[in-house]
């Protein structure tokens, strides 16, 4: 990465006056150019209302701390209103700045910065840190011992090893329940997390419960509806939030709706699923798995029962007396999609509308295991559980794949390192490639939506990151998840140092009896400190983001606001990076927040950060100073793209 600083804009409050506009609102946007960059003669903002380019002249606001600021006003015309900056230099050359970076070429519209009108996320999302719980493996209450075990289940003692082979793989039942979570809320609260997310709690015929047999009640094995009421009340009493997990793509084959339709042509529920024969014995399912029949969202009755209106499943658990705080939608990327059929936008729109009507202060997240940019434009999803941007990139940089003998679900003995189901194996990235992948997969997502995208190191569907982490990198990985833009996630058990070779084998019962062991206590303290760092500094929650240094071994970036900046160093190897002035302002007043690294300021204002890797470090700096905006006072008028004023007038 060249050491020369570049012009900068992002969606943070430093650069956008209103992150949650309505259609028709005027929003002020600002860009800054570092002194020492080529002289700028003129700046324009090109937006794209109704897919027709519209140009607005920007005003020069002045210079502060080595940065020249420009501002312009945009009228928000579309739900996703894209815009980019064009710089005309003193020598007549031009640059364009979009989320894809600075270029002399015309950027693609997909990479434009974007203002999102409507569907703002709940205010509590900004400082949220999520804790993910897989209920069967988290904790058992005293009541668990007295519950009858269903026929499908294979009972397991809490310290029994996981069975890698079917049927044990999905039928081992350890007996964790909702009152067990209540019993351990001191631990969760003590970590500093603010949002509890649990995987499905509806009755099913598996330990993961993604094959629901009903959405109308909580599984009695977990304590039933009353236990869920107790859990929600206990979470809310501690000032935290709680959100559930819903399978909008499919039900279980034991679901009451499917049982009413299977083999019963003419049943009202027949339209809920994709049956392939007149007898209704053959049907579409998730990836061909017979126990997971796929919903047909063209059914108005399915919509009414499941996602639309106050009597729907979606509304039931968000309304009184439960008042859960949101939904994570399982395989949201596949929901409503089958071949030439694509009802995804309709389904998510109805789902979110019902949530707003029931309780607008709720969060809606989508699971999408790959590139989700086309769905994540702010119309319904506030963010996503998506892996390529952060999770896979962090694994590729910070892992050291080991040959660990393990058994696949097919009974094969292998030693390959599991990597998100990708058969080509785990790549090996430099720090630069980590940063490039992060930029690539966030470059088409509006800033507001990016802040809602989950940043897990692992989940119940992946191997545990610690299984293949390189020596000394756990603080680096956890630190990155807490300081990069997005929603940090801790999968329960990571703070205990648990490992697991794949998604099923990572669902280990939590070893509560080991909580005071020195190694476990130290790991818990690490998580507590880094979560505390995130929640104590608003700049890490909604502040802007700039890369300052990238090489093969390390990245340095800053999160910034008018009140504070947080400078972050993450390194797998040794690092000795010089940050040219005015990359960082106020480093002479830096306050060390975390880590063992050195920050020094030279006489010319440049900053040197150095550390022996692996290392993660953070410093607090004074906030960014900007001159007053002149955009509103300038009265700059928009110009029709590519049409002279006279021609435009003549055309009308």
Task: Read off the pLDDT band of 649 (50, 70, 90).
Answer: very low
Percent of the chain at pLDDT exceeding 70? 96
Whole-number pLDDT of residue 245: 98
Within 10 A of 146 (CB to CB), how many other CB atoms are there? 6
Task: Name the phi and psi angles at 175, rounded to 5.
Answer: 90, 15
Whole-number pLDDT of residue 633: 66
According to DSSP, residue 204 is labeled B
Tell me the C-alpha distance between 381 and 329, whole Å: 9
Tell me the C-alpha distance between 14 and 629, whole Å: 11
Whole-number pLDDT of residue 452: 98
Q: Is the pLDDT of residue 639 over 90?
A: no
Mean pLDDT over the full length of the chain? 95
The dihedral built from the CA positions of residue 414, 416, 419 and 421, taken in this order, carries a sign that is negative
CB within 8 Å of 165: residues ≥ 6 apart: 407, 409, 411
Whole-number pLDDT of residue 400: 94
| Catalytic-labelled residue, pool 205, 308, 367, 502 | 367
Q: If you search the block for the tokens 């969202």, which residue do you land on? A: 297
The region of weakest confidence among 3-7, 20-24, 67-71 is 3-7
Q: What is the pLDDT of residues 382-412, one digit of tens each?
A: 999 999 999 999 999 999 988 899 998 889 9
Q: Would you state the structure tokens that stand for residue 611, as one six-digit string?
A: 């550390």
Tell me the C-alpha distance between 334 and 292, whole Å: 13
According to DSSP, residue 457 is labeled S
Residue 209 near residue 219 (C-beta atoms within 8 A): yes
Within 10 A of 410 (CB to CB), how many other CB atoms are there? 9
Tell me the C-alpha distance between 322 and 227, whole Å: 11
Whole-number pLDDT of residue 634: 60
Q: What is the pLDDT of residues 371-384, one digit of tens each?
A: 999 999 999 999 99
Whole-number pLDDT of residue 645: 40
Q: Would you state the structure tokens that stand for residue 217, as one six-digit string?
A: 């009640």
Whole-number pLDDT of residue 646: 35
Domains 26-121+629-651 and 544-622 share a fold: yes
Catalytic annotation present for 330? yes
Whole-number pLDDT of residue 2: 34
Q: What is the pLDDT of residues 147-164, one digit of tens each?
A: 999 999 999 999 999 999
The region of weakest confidence among 18-27, 90-99, 410-419 is 410-419
Residue 87 CA, chain-centre distance (Å), reads: 32
Q: Would you state the structure tokens that stand for residue 281, as one six-digit string?
A: 């014995």
Q: Which helix (H) or strand (E) holds 449?
A: helix 447-450
Within 10 A of 216 (CB to CB), how many other CB atoms are there? 12
Q: If you search the block for the tokens 């990479």, which residue do you land on? A: 111
Within 10 A of 607 (CB to CB), how many other CB atoms are there? 27
In this structure, whether the domain defined by 544-622 belongs to CATH 2.60.40.1180 is answered with yes
Q: What is the pLDDT of residues 261-293, one digit of tens each?
A: 999 999 999 999 999 999 999 999 999 999 999
Within 10 A of 111 (CB to CB), how many other CB atoms are there? 18
The region of weakest confidence among 129-133, 270-274, 407-411, 517-521 is 407-411
C-alpha distances (whole Å) from 316 to each of 208, 324, 592 are: 22, 9, 47
Residue 240 near residue 189 (C-beta atoms within 8 A): yes
Tell me the C-alpha distance between 616 and 609, whole Å: 11
Average pLDDT value for residue range 111-116: 98
Q: Higher-confidence residue: 636 or 367?
A: 367
Average pLDDT value for residue range 20-28: 97
Average pLDDT value for residue range 47-68: 96
The domain limits of the chain are 26-121+629-651, 250-294, 544-622
Task: Read off the pLDDT band of 542 (50, 70, 90).
Answer: very high
Give the CATH architecture of domain 26-121+629-651: Sandwich (2.60)
C-alpha distances (whole Å) from 497 to each of 134, 404, 518 are: 16, 17, 12
Give the CATH architecture of domain 250-294: Alpha-Beta Complex (3.90)
Tell me the C-alpha distance between 178 and 229, whole Å: 10
Within 10 A of 102 (CB to CB), how many other CB atoms are there? 15
Tell me the C-alpha distance between 286 and 329, whole Å: 14
C-alpha distances (whole Å) from 583 to each of 98, 129, 425, 563, 594 are: 20, 29, 38, 17, 21
According to DSSP, residue 391 is labeled I
Tell me the C-alpha distance between 567 and 578, whole Å: 13
Omega of the bond leading into 185 within 30 degrees of 0 (cis): no
Whole-number pLDDT of residue 3: 39
Tell me the C-alpha distance between 169 and 150, whole Å: 16
Q: If you search the block for the tokens 């060390």, which residue do you land on? A: 592
| Catalytic-labelled residue, pool 73, 205, 211, 330 | 330
């Amino acid at each position: 990465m060249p050491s020369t600083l570049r012009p900068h804009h992002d969606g943070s409050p430093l650069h956008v006056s209103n992150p949650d506009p309505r259609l028709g609102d005027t929003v002020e946007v600002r860009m800054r150019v570092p002194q020492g960059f080529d002289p700028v003669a003129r700046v324009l903002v090109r937006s794209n209302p109704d897919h027709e380019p519209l140009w607005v002249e920007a005003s020069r606001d002045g210079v502060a701390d080595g940065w020249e600021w420009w501002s312009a006003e945009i009228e928000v015309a579309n739900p996703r209103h894209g815009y980019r900056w064009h710089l005309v230099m003193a020598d007549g050359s031009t640059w364009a700045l979009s989320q894809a970076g600075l270029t002399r070429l015309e950027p693609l519209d997909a990479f434009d910065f974007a203002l999102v009108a409507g569907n703002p996320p709940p205010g509590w999302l900004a400082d949220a840190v999520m804790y993910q719980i897989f209920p069967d493996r988290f904790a058992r209450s005293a009541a668990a011992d007295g519950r009858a075990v269903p026929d499908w289940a294979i009972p397991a003692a809490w310290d029994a090893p996981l069975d890698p082979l079917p049927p044990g793989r999905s039928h081992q039942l350890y007996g964790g329940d909702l009152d067990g979570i209540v019993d351990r809320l001191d631990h969760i609260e003590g970590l500093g997390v603010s949002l509890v997310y649990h995987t499905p709690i509806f009755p099913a015929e598996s330990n993961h419960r993604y094959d629901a047999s009903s959405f109308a009640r909580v599984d009695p094995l977990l304590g039933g509806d009353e236990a869920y009421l107790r859990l929600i009340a206990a979470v809310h009493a501690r000032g935290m939030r709680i959100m559930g997990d819903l399978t909008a793509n499919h039900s279980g084959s034991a679901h009451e709706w499917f049982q009413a339709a299977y083999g019963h042509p003419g049943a009202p529920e027949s339209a809920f699923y994709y049956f392939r024969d007149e007898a209704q014995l053959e049907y579409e399912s998730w990836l061909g798995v017979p126990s997971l029949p796929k919903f047909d969202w063209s059914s108005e009755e399915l919509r009414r029962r499941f996602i639309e209106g106050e009597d729907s499943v979606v509304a039931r658990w968000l309304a009184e007396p439960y008042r859960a705080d949101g939904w994570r939608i399982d395989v949201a990327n596949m929901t409503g999609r089958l071949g030439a059929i694509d009802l995804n936008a309709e389904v998510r729109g109805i789902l979110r509308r019902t949530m707003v009507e029931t309780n607008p202060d709720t969060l809606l997240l989508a699971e999408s295991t790959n590139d989700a940019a086309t769905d994540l434009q702010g119309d319904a999803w506030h963010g996503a559980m998506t892996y390529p941007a952060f999770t896979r990139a962090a694994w590729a940089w910070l892992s050291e794949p080991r040959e660990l003998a393990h058994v696949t679900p097919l009974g094969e003995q292998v030693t390959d390192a599991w990597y998100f189901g990708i058969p080509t194996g785990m790549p090996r990235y430099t720090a630069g490639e980590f940063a490039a992948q992060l930029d690539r997969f966030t470059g088409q997502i509006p800033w507001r939506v990016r802040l809602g995208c989950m940043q897990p190191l692992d989940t119940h569907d992946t191997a545990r990151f610690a299984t293949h982490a390189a020596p000394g990198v756990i603080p680096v990985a956890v630190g990155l998840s807490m300081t990069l833009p997005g929603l940090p996630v801790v999968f329960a058990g990571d703070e205990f140092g648990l490992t697991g070779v794949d998604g099923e084998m990572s669902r280990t019962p939590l070893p509560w009896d080991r909580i005071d062991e020195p190694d476990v206590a130290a790991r818990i303290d690490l998580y507590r400190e880094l979560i505390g760092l995130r929640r104590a500094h608003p700049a890490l929650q909604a502040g802007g983001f700039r890369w300052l240094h990238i090489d093969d071994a390390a990245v340095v970036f800053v999160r910034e606001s008018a009140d504070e900046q947080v400078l972050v160093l993450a390194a797998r190897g040794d690092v000795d990076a010089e940050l040219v002035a005015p990359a960082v302002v106020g480093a002479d007043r830096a306050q060390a927040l975390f880590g063992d690294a050195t920050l020094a300021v030279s006489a010319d204002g440049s900053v040197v950060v150095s550390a022996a890797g692996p290392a993660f470090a953070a410093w607090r700096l004074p906030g960014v100073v900007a001159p007053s905006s002149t955009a509103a006072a300038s009265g700059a008028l928009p110009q029709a793209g590519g049409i002279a004023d006279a021609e435009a007038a003549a055309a009308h």
